[in-house]
A and B are shown apart, each in its own frame.
Chain A
Amino acid sequence: MVVDRRLRILSELNKASGRATGTLCEVGAKVTKMSGAGIMLMSGDVPRGSVCTTNEVSALIEELQYALGEGPCVDAYNADRPVLEPDLAHPSEPRWPAFTEPVLEAGALAVFGFPLRVGAVRLGALNFNCDRSGPLTEDQHADALVMADVAAQAVLAMQAGAPPGELAAELEAGADFRYVVHQASGMVAAQLGVTVGVALIRLRAYAFANDRPLNQVAEDVVARRLRFDGHEDRDGRT
Chain B
Amino acid sequence: MPREALLVRTMVELADTLVDDYDVVDLLTHLADRCVEVLDVSAAGLMLARPGGGDLHVVASSSDAMRVLELFELQAEEGPCPDCYRTGEPVLNEDLATVDGRWPRFAPLALEAGFRSVHALPMRLRGQTIGALNLFRAAEGGLDEADVLAAQALADVATIAILQQRAVVEAKVLNEQLGQALNTRVVIEQAKGVLAERANLDMEQSFTRLRAHARNHNVRLADVAQSVIDGTLPTGSLDPLPPPR
Digitize A101-142: 1 where CB-to-B-CB distance is under 8 Å, 0 elsewhere.
000000000000000001111110000000000000000000
| Residue B5 lies at the interface, judged by CB distance under 8 Å to chain A | no
B211 to chain A, nearest CB (A): 14
Q: Which of B168, B178, B198 contacts A159 (CB 8 A)?
A: B178
Alpha-carbon distance between A160 and B181 when the two chains are bound, in angstroms: 12
Q: Are B182 and A183 in contact (CB under 8 A)?
A: no
B74 to chain A, nearest CB (A): 35
| Residue B194 lies at the interface, judged by CB distance under 8 Å to chain A | yes
Digitize A37-48: 1 where CB-to-B-CB distance is under 8 Å, 0 elsewhere.
000010110001
Q: A167 and B178 in contact (CB under 8 A), knowing A118-B167, A119-B168, A179-B185?
A: yes
| Residue B112 lies at the interface, judged by CB distance under 8 Å to chain A | no
Q: Which of A118, A165, A191 contacts B180 (CB 8 A)?
A: A165
Within residues 167 to 209 of chain B, which ones have a CB less than 8 A from any CB in chain A? 167-168, 171-172, 174-175, 177-186, 189-198, 203
Q: Are B193 and A43 in contact (CB under 8 A)?
A: no
Alpha-carbon distance between A139 and B185 when the two chains are bound, in angstroms: 39
| Residue B229 lies at the interface, judged by CB distance under 8 Å to chain A | yes
Within residues 138 to 166 of chain B, which ones have a CB less than 8 A from any CB in chain A? 164
Nearest chain B residue, comparing its CB with the CB of A184: B193
Q: Are B177 and A187 in contact (CB under 8 A)?
A: no
Q: Which of A166, A182, A184, A188 contacts B186 (CB 8 A)?
A: A182
| Residue B64 lies at the interface, judged by CB distance under 8 Å to chain A | no
Most buried by B among A159, A171, A190: A190
Alpha-carbon distance between A119 and B164 when the two chains are bound, in angstroms: 9
Within residues 203 to 239 of chain B, which ones have a CB less than 8 A from any CB in chain A? 203, 220, 222, 229
Q: Are A121 and B193 in contact (CB under 8 A)?
A: no
Q: Are A186 and B178 in contact (CB under 8 A)?
A: no
Q: Are A186 and B196 in contact (CB under 8 A)?
A: yes
Q: How large is the interface on A (under 10, 10 to 19, 20 to 34, 35 or more residues)?
A: 35 or more
Within residues 137 to 180 of chain A, which ones have a CB less than 8 A from any CB in chain B? 155-156, 159-160, 162, 164-167, 171, 177, 179-180
Contacts of A183 in B (CB 8 A): 189-190, 192-193, 196, 203
Grouping DSSP codes into helix (H, G, I), strand (E, B) and loop, the B interface class, with mixed when no group exceeds half, is helix
Q: Are A196 and B229 in contact (CB under 8 A)?
A: yes
Q: Are B193 and A160 in contact (CB under 8 A)?
A: no
Q: Are A119 and B171 in contact (CB under 8 A)?
A: yes
Contacts of B180 in A (CB 8 A): 165
Q: A121 and B184 in contact (CB under 8 A), knowing A186-B190, A186-B191, A187-B194?
A: no
| Residue A189 lies at the interface, judged by CB distance under 8 Å to chain B | yes
Using CB atoms and an 8 Å cutoff, list the residues of chain B in contact with chain A: 21, 164, 167-168, 171-172, 174-175, 177-186, 189-198, 203, 220, 222, 229
Q: A119-B172, A155-B178, A186-B193 are in contact. List 4 more A-B contacts (CB 8 A).
A: A43-B179, A118-B175, A162-B181, A166-B184
Using CB atoms and an 8 Å cutoff, list the residues of chain A in contact with chain B: 41, 43-44, 48-49, 118-123, 155-156, 159-160, 162, 164-167, 171, 177, 179-180, 182-191, 196, 222
28 A–B contacts, CB within 8 A, in A order: A41-B178, A41-B182, A43-B182, A43-B183, A48-B182, A49-B182, A118-B175, A119-B171, A120-B172, A121-B175, A156-B175, A162-B177, A164-B177, A165-B184, A165-B220, A166-B181, A177-B186, A183-B190, A183-B196, A184-B193, A186-B189, A186-B190, A186-B195, A186-B196, A186-B197, A188-B193, A190-B194, A196-B193
